[in-house]
Amino acid sequence: FPIGKMGLIQRLPEDVVNRMAAGEVLARPCNAIKELVENSLDAGATEIKVMMQNGGLKILQVSDNGKGIEREDFELVCERFATSKLQKFEDLMHMKTYGFRGEALASLSHVAKVNIVSKRADAKCAYQGNFLDGKLLAPTKPAAGKNGTCITATDLFYNLPTRRNKMTTHGEEAKMVYDTLLRFAIHRPDVSFALHQNQSSDFRTKGDGNFRDVVCNLLGRDVADTVIPISLESTRLKFKFTGKISKPIASATSKNAQNRKTNRSFFSVFINGRSVRCDILKHPIDDVLQNRSLCVQFCALHLEIDETRIDVNVHPTKSSVIFLEKEEIIEEIREYFEKFINDLFGLPDKTEAV
């Protein structure tokens, strides 16, 4: 080779790689909230408080009463692919925790200024540290703090000006954070969730395990009072499908009801305890309802499925899943739900809208 001649391909600097990756995991404040709340749940927290300013762009803070972070772990806590949850590739099949990729806090520290205060129950005091671009900026310092962890992200996307400037309507971002937290609150009535931003959309759930109270508190008694369980188990396809839906009402009336009251309807899907964007499970339900001109204001679906039949490691946000036997599962759900609606309302008569 001619000495000194360089090709055109060069390795990107590590900080550029990390910042790009971070932007993918954390596209908006609500993604950060999801990651932080999941970490709190992984740490066994029973109380999780979220505080935000300017839709989370100025300040986003999650504090919990979970098991805390060891002082010795502060060095690695924001480093990419550093985790206490996954040790070897095979473990991926059986992950019971939300996290395992060790990317969330690293990502956050590449797009925001991060402060962590944490106290383990066996430690004399809390410790705190500031992080930027994956690194602890100065040695940890003792701090005041209760058992648990408080993570604060300030000036989210300060180094991604285009993204930041696009998010000028803080209300939009705040609403998405609210929705994200709402999903967790409804899924986990045994954990107390609180959101503080401004009086109008603050909420708090008790965490006493009472599901109806949570729905009542968040969506109103009208909806909560009509919620009924659904449940289907398939030994052949190794899944258990459960859910809670508000009693179906005629589509036209439901629109009026929604507009009149909270203008809110709720839909969520959890697969093996993980909140996912998975409309596939919604389709059979929607189809059956639509065929009878019905709709529901509340629908929370849970699918428990043999871990070897799905793959959650599709995307860093883990919000999508791939599963085997998709068609068969959907067909079983459709048949079940059709029967469920027939039992509730009688068989459809021929004059009903198709």
User: Which residues contribute to the site for ligand ADP (CB under 6 A)?
Assistant: 35, 39-40, 43, 64, 66-69, 77, 83-85, 99-106, 149
Stretch that binds Mg ion, among 50-58, 94-102, 143-151, 346-354 (CB under 5 A): 94-102
Query: Judged by CB, which is closer to ligand ADP: 105, or 245?
Result: 105
Alpha helices for the chain (secondary structure H): 14-25, 29-42, 74-77, 104-111, 161-166, 170-187, 211-219, 221-224, 251-260, 282-291, 326-345
DSSP, residue by residue, 44-85: T-SEEEEEEEGGGTSEEEEEE-SS---GGGHHHHTSTT--SS
Q: CB under 5 to 8 A by kind: which of Mg ion, ligand ADP, none does 112 bind?
A: none
Closest approach of ligand ADP to the CB of residue 306, in Å: 23
180: tokens are 């994200």
**What residues form DSSP beta bridges with 59?**
53, 154
Spatial contact of 310 and 275, defined as CB atoms under 8 Å apart: no
Query: Judged by CB, which is closer to ligand ADP: 45, or 227?
Result: 45
Q: Is 40 in the site for Mg ion (CB under 5 A)?
A: no
Spatial contact of 53 and 61, defined as CB atoms under 8 Å apart: no
Q: Is 284 in the site for Mg ion (CB under 5 A)?
A: no
Closest-approach residue to ligand ADP (CB): 99
Q: CB under 5 to 8 A by kind: which of ligand ADP, Mg ion, none does 69 bind?
A: ligand ADP
Q: CB under 5 to 8 A by kind: which of Mg ion, ligand ADP, none does 40 bind?
A: ligand ADP
Cα radius of gyration rounded to whole Å, the chain: 23
Query: Judged by CB, which is closer to Mg ion: 100, or 239?
Result: 100
Q: Is 104 in the site for Mg ion (CB under 5 A)?
A: yes
- Residues 150, 153: Cα–Cα separation, whole Å: 10
Closest-approach residue to Mg ion (CB): 99
Q: Which amino acid is at 48?
A: I
**What residues form DSSP beta bridges with 47?**
192
Spatial contact of 323 and 305, defined as CB atoms under 8 Å apart: yes
Binding-site size for Mg ion (CB under 5 A) equals 3
Query: Judged by CB, which is closer to ligand ADP: 40, or 180?
Result: 40
Closest approach of ligand ADP to the CB of residue 43, in Å: 3
Query: Judged by CB, which is closer to ligand ADP: 62, or 177?
Result: 62
Q: Is 39 in the site for Mg ion (CB under 5 A)?
A: yes
- Residues 348, 354: Cα–Cα separation, whole Å: 10
Q: CB under 5 to 8 A by kind: which of ligand ADP, Mg ion, none does 232 bind?
A: none
Spatial contact of 230 and 243, defined as CB atoms under 8 Å apart: yes
Residue of the chain from 66, 68, 99, 243 that contacts Mg ion (CB under 5 A):
99
Q: CB under 5 to 8 A by kind: which of Mg ion, ligand ADP, none does 205 bind?
A: none
